[in-house]
Amino acid sequence: MTATADVAGRLAETIGPKRVVSAAEELAAYAVDGLVPSAIVRPGSPEEAAEVVRFALAEKLAVLPLGSRSKSELGLPPERYDVAVDMTGLHAIAHYDAGDLTLSVDAGMPLRELEMHLKQQGQFLPLAVPCFESATVGGTIASGIDSALRLQYGSARDFLIGAEFVDGTGQLCKSGGRVVKNVTGYDLHKLLIGSLGTLGIITRLNFRTFPLAPASGGHLAGFEELQAALEFRGAIEKAGLPLANLEVMNPRAAAMIRAILQRSGEVSPSELEREQWFVYASFEGSKEVVQRIAEELEKIVRGMNAGLSRSLENSEEETLGGMLRESFEWLRWASAASVICRLALPMLSAHILAALAQMAEEAVLNAALLVRSAGIVYFTALAQDADETAIAALAKIAAGAKALARAEKGYATLLHAPLAIKQMLAADGAIEIDLPMQQRVKQAFDPSGVVAPGRIVGGI
Amino acid sequence: MNPSKASIHPALLREITSLLGAKNVLDRAEDLLLYEFDGSVEKATPDLVVFSRTTEEVSRIVKLAARHEVPVVGRGAGTGLSGGALARGGGVMIVFARMNKILEIDLEACRAVVQPGVVNLDITRAVEHAGLYFAPDPSSAKSCTIGGNVAENAGGPHTLAYGVTTNHIAALQLVLPDGEIVRVGSKNGDAPGYDLCGLFVGSEGTLALVTEITVKLARRPEAVKTLLAIFETIEDACQAVVEITASGITPAACEMLDGWTLRVVEDYVHAGYPLNSGAVLLLEVEGLREAVEGQAAAIESVCKQCRSREVRLAKDDRERDLLWKGRKNAFGALGRVAPSNYVLDGVIPRSKLPLALERIKEIGKKYGFNIGNIFHAGDGNLHPIVLYDPRDAKQFANGITAAREIIHACVEMGGALTGEHGVGMEKNELMGLLFSDADFALMRRVHDAFNPDSSLNPGKIFPLSKGCGEIRIRKKEAVGATL
């Protein structure tokens, strides 16, 4: 009997055979960064998830909690990975008080399904994240990936109000509550955001929900020069207009979006084919508010030497907004090999964007640049081949992007890269953060290193 | 013999005095008395009060105290309402009042770096020329300090739309209990790794001392409207809040004053609250002109449907300021009708508001109190006020029992113990209503990861009785009325 069969067999005895999978082809589908688990467990209750962790503790195994696995490549390669804990079996709405705009939902609930439930009450959860069709709410929080609606609604830390989870000692714990304002005890649930499974298995999450706006609008402007696009963006920020999203695209990113939408027969602004830097703004509110914002944008753009400035049709705003939400997803599959870096910069400037583009140019690679709110830049270098030369070029670019961000007192995180590059740069991220402080948190949640060891920055 | 002097080690006193100078050290009993209270009903006396001027000084004080195994507690303006800044274990109290400089303002990035002793409102004053402000606005904004706001994760009336302190903090510099100086978070609020900033904000000074804070600044909206909706009964006013919330209107603020309280306030402030009403809602909407127009109209219509007698619109800034003056000075006004008051801070789902007010009334009746209500109705954050005479021991004990029952009721309705005042040494024994042994065990491990000897602010948040060794207070036992 192999070790694999051993683990699966003993797990089946503990949790029940129906919950455990060990067929080779299924295990392969749960691989993370080349590591294949020995067994997959699909807990049917939070208590069963806790039992899995206690089993792993006793057997000195490492577990990795997963949702739909759409973003399991985020984070560093796991140090060890024996048991995949698939949380998609827990997908109920535990509590929804529409009158209070609060929601308590199991970790495995898909975002798309949740959206439909909330829509019936005229509400939504502002987690506009990539892989929206498949992603679970638990996986989304654990991944910490940006929401395209962050500018208006904030990030998850602003509307996650409580959580239940299994910690690394195999105990069911909770933090926060189901009320919108609460300072009872430590805000441990905030630590789960972006924790990549390293603090425990999320079983349930509590959120405040938001009313759907009655109307929405979009605006697209194009500029020959990057500097002009950034000036327009800066002027919009200064005007204090309440926008849902404000995003700058380089010509390459815009062309890629246009090509994908055209291929799938969806409407899209034909102007995206022009060799320009584009500024996309979306906004929502009452009809009057939407109209006012559209007018203000037109006013701001005047005298800014824009090659293009127009309001988007609702259908265009929807498809373009959807593509920007999904950018991580289509960017990573757009070429044979690529690196996607997420830079978080204290101050956005044309010179750093130009420097990023130039790095790609020098390596004779295409680069897609997307600039979001809060100084966040998605920088993608695209290689047509996955051979040694291409990997070497991409590795150099990934390291260069990190160095650039560091020089600007910001951070760069590698969201997607060939495994070899991920491994090469794994130790690099720890330079910017206070590693001992981070390690104290991990140690408190998971003293034995049983949940997702090594996955978070610094190899914690 | 002076008991306070006796309990501090003479060598420690000497070392701290030589570090800070005699004018920054208080050790006489009559001076220490000033620091045994905050805004709560709790009481505890420090052995030594010191005023630090720099982060390095804080670090050295903490190291000296650690060497003598004496606990340390940080304190801002002492306006807290849960005993968070009281020296429950005695020891050294570091008062941050003299670390009150704004170190850097970055208008472009909408950030300011400030010392912990900066008064909340002074941040706004320093940046309002550029159309910016610091959004969290506790009622004590004119006197409370940002360090205390960070420790308690303070709220305020306008947190309904803009969030509490934690939503407006990007980075912190901290001094750990062993004196180490560390930084967490980042200027743009997006550091990789765990959200340590989110953990430290609201940790009530039990994990580290905050010595520098990077705050996010918000842009002033172009329009604001302030409305006063007047109701015959508190039930109707509660229903209006439920309807406003459910209909998806998010006012910037939605405050309620019940009839009894508003009459006490009106008598003192003359804010223009109608004396013969059952309750008023003070509502504010902010944003683009068009949004404000629409929301104000929607609010008026909902209030009318809920039998509001009248919805008044503040005509100008003067009227607006007056309406707010009534709300912000309410607790001062209450001081005129009873020697002391006890403010609770429970939170409930907003859909349960009518039920909650009914329960509070019943509990008041049972114990013979007239419990006033002046609170953040829009986010379900109740502030029942129990008025009592501290010289009447039986009345005080009854007040505490009534308060405990109200908190129980909040929890039964799916709520929490505290929305913005903190747990401190006032509600720590009630934490078991919400948290299990496993929850406490994890919180304890997080606590010990940063403050392993409980030398920093001992006796707070955790129930003293709760398992695993618990608070290792080295000095005096706590005094005062713990719930």
Residue A35, C-beta contacts closer than 8 angstroms, at least 6 positions apart? A77, A78, A81
Residue B240, C-beta contacts closer than 8 angstroms, at least 6 positions apart? B229, B231, B281, B302, B303, B306, B308
Cβ–Cβ below 8 Å for B187 and A409 = yes
Grade residue A431 by pLDDT with cuts at 50, 70 and 90. Answer: low
Grade residue A257 by pLDDT with cuts at 50, 70 and 90. Answer: very high
Q: Assess contact for A108 and A90: CB atoms under 8 A.
A: yes
- With a cut of 90, say whether residue B130 has pLDDT above it: yes
Same CATH topology for A215-315 and A328-431: the answer is: yes
A215-315 under CATH 3.40.50.1220, yes or no: no
Architecture in CATH for domain B3-95? 2-Layer Sandwich (3.30)
The boundaries of every CATH 3.30.70.2740 domain in chain B are 338-422
The boundaries of every CATH 3.30.43.10 domain in chain B are 3-95
Least confident of A143-147, A394-398, B330-334: B330-334
What SS3 string covers A278-293?
A: EEEEEEEECHHHHHHH
Query: What proportion of chain B, given as a percentage, has pLDDT over 90?
Result: 87
- With a cut of 50, say whether residue A370 has pLDDT above it: yes
Interface-testing mutation among B104, B150, B188, B194, with chain A (most A C-beta atoms within 10 A): B194
Please tell me the class of the A328-431 domain: alpha beta
> Quick check: helix, strand or coil at residue B430?
helix
Segment A407-425 shows an average pLDDT of 92
B221-327 under CATH 3.30.70.3450, yes or no: yes
Asked if the C-beta of A293 comes within 8 angstroms of chain B's C-beta atoms, the answer is yes
Architecture in CATH for domain B338-422? 2-Layer Sandwich (3.30)
The more confident residue out of A458 and A72 is A72
DSSP class per residue in B213-261: EEEE-EEPPSEEEEEEEEESSHHHHHHHHHHHHHTT---SEEEEEEHHH
Residue A404, sorted as left (phi over 0), alpha (psi -120 to 50) or beta, turns out to be alpha
Asked if the C-beta of B167 comes within 8 angstroms of chain A's C-beta atoms, the answer is yes
What CATH number should be reported for the domain whose range is A101-211? 3.30.465.10
Residue A140 to chain B, least CA–CA distance (Å)? 15
Cβ–Cβ below 8 Å for A167 and B442 = yes
Q: Is the ipTM of this complex over 0.90?
A: yes
Q: How confident is the model over A28-69, as pLDDT tens digits?
A: 999 999 999 999 999 999 999 999 999 999 999 999 999 999
Q: Between the CA atoms of B287, B291, B296 and B302, what dihedral angle is there, to the nearest 10 degrees?
A: -120
Other beta carbons within 10 Å of A239: 15
Which chain B residues touch A291 with a CB distance below 8 Å? Answer: 290
Looking at residue B473, what is its pLDDT?
Answer: 44
- With a cut of 80, say whether residue A428 has pLDDT above it: no
Q: What single-letter DSSP state applies at residue B118?
A: S
Dihedral sign computed on CA atoms, order B100, B101, B103, B107: positive
- With a cut of 70, say whether residue B314 has pLDDT above it: yes
Looking at residue B3, what is its pLDDT?
Answer: 37
A3-88 under CATH 3.40.50.150, yes or no: no
- With a cut of 70, say whether residue A3 has pLDDT above it: no
CB-defined contacts A:B, below 8 A: 237
> Quick check: helix, strand or coil at residue B385?
strand
Other beta carbons within 10 Å of B471: 23
Q: Where are the alpha helices (DSSP H) in A120-208?
A: 137-143, 150-153, 156-159, 188-192
Looking at residue B345, what is its pLDDT?
Answer: 97
B164: nearest CA partner in chain A:
A181
Interface-testing mutation among B442, B451, B462, with chain A (most A C-beta atoms within 10 A): B442
Segment A284-312 shows an average pLDDT of 96
- With a cut of 60, say whether residue A134 has pLDDT above it: yes
Cβ–Cβ below 8 Å for B431 and A185 = yes
A240: nearest CA partner in chain B:
B219
- With a cut of 70, say whether residue B471 has pLDDT above it: no
Q: Assess contact for A92 and A83: CB atoms under 8 A.
A: no
Cβ–Cβ below 8 Å for A183 and B421 = yes
Residue A2 to chain B, least CA–CA distance (Å)? 36
| Residue keyed to tokens 């009336």 | B157
The boundaries of every CATH 3.30.70.3450 domain in chain B are 221-327
DSSP class per residue in A230-294: HHHHHHHHHHT---SEEEEE-HHHHHHHHHHHHHTT----GGGGSSSEEEEEEEEESHHHHHHHH
Structure tokens at A455: 């996955």
Q: How far is CA B331 from the centre of its chain?
A: 14
Looking at residue B306, what is its pLDDT?
Answer: 97
For chain A, domain boundaries? 3-88, 101-211, 215-315, 328-431
Q: How confident is the model over A168-225, as pLDDT tens digits?
A: 999 999 999 999 999 999 999 999 999 999 999 999 999 999 999 999 999 999 999 9
Residue A179, sorted as left (phi over 0), alpha (psi -120 to 50) or beta, turns out to be beta
